[in-house]
Homo-oligomer: A and B are copies of this chain.
Amino acid sequence: MLQPIKHVLNRKRIILASGSPRRRELVENIGLKVELCPSLFEENLDPKTFNCFSAFVEETALQKVLEVENRLKSLGTPPDVVIGADTMVTLDGAMFGKPTSKKEAFVMLKSLSGRSHTVYTGVVVKSLDKVVKFTEKTDVVFGKLDDEQIQGYIDTGEPMDKAGGYGIQGVGGTFVERVEGDYFTVVGLPLYRLCSVLYELFKENK
């Protein structure tokens, strides 16, 4: 979608404020040239102080972006555009972060088995004069898993650094019967909406 403004984007210094290898891969796959700069923001916002999941993920994404932008500015290398994102898995109104133990991963995956949950990814795109924020949500339906399948998956090590305890782009993809929404929201970066925002921001310069 971005081809008509590729020459404009290529002249910009675009930073992806993320250390996630999944996000990096998505951005590379669509041919967007970005520099990676993982945010040092602590991700310590209290979900209880937000009135909806989207407000929480957008604020976390914004804090990641601001930390990276300020750091680069103070180093004398200000960026043109900073992109940040935050992804959250939710079930019955509860947030699932990254599991802190194999036991917790088991409980998470068992509760996701055989039903639908919702993944939110909040995105912030900050250019020199504009901040655009949005959230995409995608429903994910897991097939019914037996305990051995869950335990076998945990033993691969894949669940431990992932919100909700699974990676849809890896072995975890075999659990997913269907998705409803942008698949890439579940991977961690909703590509359609992100590219639409970038296109709107820069199409006048083409």
Residues of A bordering B, CB below 8 Å: 1-4, 6, 26, 29-31, 138, 143, 145-146, 148-149, 151-153, 155-156, 168-171, 173-184, 191-192, 195-196, 199
Q: Shortest Cβ distance from A173 into chain B, in angstroms? A: 5
- Whether A148 contacts B31 in the complex (CB less than 8 A), given A175-B192, A177-B192, A184-B173, comes out as no
In the bound complex, residues from chain B placing their C-beta under 8 Å from that of A191 are 173-174, 176
Additional A-B contacts beyond A1-B174, A3-B153, A180-B180 (15; CB < 8 A): A1-B175, A2-B174, A3-B148, A4-B146, A4-B152, A6-B152, A30-B171, A143-B192, A149-B199, A174-B191, A174-B195, A175-B192, A178-B180, A178-B181, A179-B182
